Structure 1
């Protein structure tokens, strides 16, 4: 099973989506560097995701991030730091990104901001050939031991926010657009392994008042790499008294146009449905949990996906916590 999972990434004609979190709605820094500083106070979050539990070699992802504003008076400069670690069978990926966002103030009341962000980082990719169990020996495309490579990377994004809605566009893996840019070089048979492609993200959402202390927060996340399936997340959260969030998400594939990987095939677009909750233990500390149920044929050989997030706000000395940030 490990071999089959990894071989998906070994074919140069297909691309693999970046790591994903069902709870991106609580901290969008992982998909858009222009989000840095949105909460206008320093905020740290840890996310742990165990995907397809019960399946040998299934993805395991961890991420730690911190971001805030560097100039607490004007709040024009957002800074962020993000660490990620991801494992899929014999494949591993670790990365670090430093993010910078310049936040333009659009109105006198300072309720609208347009941010331009850039992230610079390094990604280390590895493949452990010892964990591969091919059905036929002597395949020169598979390494006999561990191989790895350190690759520089960049990402860019634009993010607009107002009290009632937000919209963001971003491009990730900017240095990975060259079709000859294989991650592993210098080893026979590995130059085309685990190729990366640029990823484009669109995020958007709004906030609706249901009653004095109940709000509805629908949102979407569109992911595109122009090689693999287009992915769409549709999410809705109900917010009770600014402390308890409860909702769900539906993830599916889209066929916006005919792509090479799908020619002559009839692949299911079904992916997963998620139950998501977040609770503010205090004004500074919050916990989030989500469970993804696979609705494709993969559901019969795994036990779902669990994701936990922990968030901590660091208010500036002598300043009160700001009103809740819903986006």
Structure 2
């Protein structure tokens, strides 16, 4: 199969593909990793459905992430979410959230819609501790655009002739506990999308492919430490496991000034929890370096917040791209006829 001559930017993209294949060759490279926002620390419903309703007010957030800026076909992700309580004026037991995401990576795309429900158990008389059980159900539309691949030979059976799509239903489950001083949660995401038994694309009689996301388990935890009057420290961690590639660990720390301005950073790296199949078979050890992040959030008003983060890549990709930018906008809306008993820092 012949292709047109490539330019400098295309060469960079080829280098990226080679790097990804080298990292993923020992295991299934046709499965996508889950979308992850650096600013999940401000709204964790994207990684745990039991978080729905945690703020005990109706809250909406828009997020935009541009990853590996400067590379053609690099990931572009958008998120829209709304969550709150169905019984805000009474027992505050029932949280509900809706989440829409769209993600593009070269010729691949995945657009999802989920509805999350959380049942929230009150654990003390002061109502400062809750244990939530959450479930989410949704659907993802996976797409593959063969026209982006731009082959010279028309009708090449290796390349789909046009854009093809398929829908895959999915469910997720989570548990989330919090009190004014610390929180912890665990969730299982993409329970159905992780099933690799059936391919989701077929564009001729012989060619199939599978790019659905893998099943993931997340563990998150964090704390709130009072340093002085008006100054707090909020450390947190997120552990992500897909049982195939390296385990991912996020470590973050945010300083909170006057409950209005947050600033801090994070470090994302790989850790070895147990030996994976690709390590046992090949003896390969992938680089654990990933990225460092700078993160800030400002409450413009008590109801409106703006967040920004920048990720600097530590791996060999740093030479062919200009980092990742992420912007979020959050707003509290609806009736506020009852004061939240403790400020929501998690």
Q: What TM-score do the two structures reach when normalised by structure 1?
A: 0.93
Q: Name the counterpart of 1:90.
A: 107
Tell me if structure 1 keeps the 8 A contact 2:180–2:342.
no
* 1:322 shift after superposition: 6.0
Q: Name the counterpart of 2:308.
A: 289
Could you tell me how far apart the structure 1 residues matched to 2:243 and 2:92 are? 36
Q: Name the counterpart of 1:318.
A: 337
* 1:169 shift after superposition: 0.5
- One of 46, 50, 53 as aligned partner of 1:37: 53
Q: How does 1:48-197 map to 2 (within 5 A)?
A: 48-72=64-88, 73-132=90-149, 140-185=157-202, 187-197=204-214
* 1:6 shift after superposition: 6.8
Q: Name the counterpart of 2:262.
A: 245
Q: CA RMSD in A?
A: 2.3
Tell me if structure 2 keeps the 8 A contact 1:47–1:308.
yes
- One of 274, 280, 285 as aligned partner of 2:299: 280
The answer to which of 185-194 and 55-64 deviates more is: 185-194
Q: Name the counterpart of 1:47.
A: 63
* SS class of match (1:34): helix
Could you tell me how far apart the structure 2 residues matched to 1:280 and 1:168 are? 26
* SS class of match (2:208): coil
Could you tell me how far apart the structure 2 residues matched to 1:321 and 1:105 are? 14
Q: 1:226 to 1:142 in 2, by over 3 A?
A: farther
Q: 1:146 to 1:3 in 2, by over 3 A?
A: farther
Q: 1:153 to 1:274 in 2, by over 3 A?
A: same
* 1:144 shift after superposition: 2.7
* SS class of match (1:299): helix
* 1:179 shift after superposition: 2.9
* 1:143 shift after superposition: 2.0
Q: How does 1:226-265 map to 2 (within 5 A)?
A: 226-262=243-279, 263-265=282-284
Could you tell me how far apart the structure 2 residues matched to 1:126 and 1:67 are? 28
Tell me if structure 2 keeps the 8 A contact 1:13–1:261.
no
* SS class of match (1:226): coil
Could you tell me how far apart the structure 2 residues matched to 1:116 and 1:35 are? 9
* 1:20 shift after superposition: 0.7
- One of 18, 26, 34 as aligned partner of 1:18: 34
Tell me if structure 2 keeps the 8 A contact 1:285–1:313.
yes
* 1:120 shift after superposition: 0.6
Q: Name the counterpart of 1:304.
A: 323
* 1:151 shift after superposition: 0.9
* 1:180 shift after superposition: 1.2
Q: Which ranges of structure 2 fall in alignment gaps of 5 or more residues?
A: 1-9
The answer to which of 182-191 and 76-85 deviates more is: 182-191
Moved over 6 A (4+): 9-12, 134-139
